[in-house]
Every structure is written in structure tokens, then in C-alpha cells.
């Protein structure tokens, strides 16, 4: 179970050593979702950064 004091990353790290079956699948799904969230967030930041740079040169 995820306690209020553990981040998703810490949850993956601590539970990976003993997880089996569905628990292991849930940890992998959490890792994939975390990766996708960070990727989308970075793409948004790059897009906004480029747009503001282009508007600044006009």
C-alpha cells in the first residue's frame, strides 16, 4: 500500500525487491505512467520555451 509519506518513485524502489505477480505489474505500470507524465511535462516546457523565444525575436 502507498502511504502518504512515500512518493511514486520511492514506492517503486522499496517494493520492487519483494513484489511478485500483480504487485510487480502494478509497479511497472506505475513506472511507465511516471515516465510518460515526465515526458509530457518536458515536451510542454520545451514547446513553451521555443514559442517564447520565437516571439521574443520578432
Is 16 strand, coil or helix?
coil
Residues 6+ apart with CB under 8 A from 8: 2, 30, 34
pLDDT at 1: 58
57 phi and psi, to 5 degrees?
Answer: -90, -10
Give the predicted TM-score (pTM) of the model: 0.73
pLDDT at 57: 65
Q: What is the pLDDT of residues 2-52, one digit of tens each?
A: 557 888 899 899 999 999 999 999 999 999 999 999 999 999 999 999 988
Amino acid at each position: 500500500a502507498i502511504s502518504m509519506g512515500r512518493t511514486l518513485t520511492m514506492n517503486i524502489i522499496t517494493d520492487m525487491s519483494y513484489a511478485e505477480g500483480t504487485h510487480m505489474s502494478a509497479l511497472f505500470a506505475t513506472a511507465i505512467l511516471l515516465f510518460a507524465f515526465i515526458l509530457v511535462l518536458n515536451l510542454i516546457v520545451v514547446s513553451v520555451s521555443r514559442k517564447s523565444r520565437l516571439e521574443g525575436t520578432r
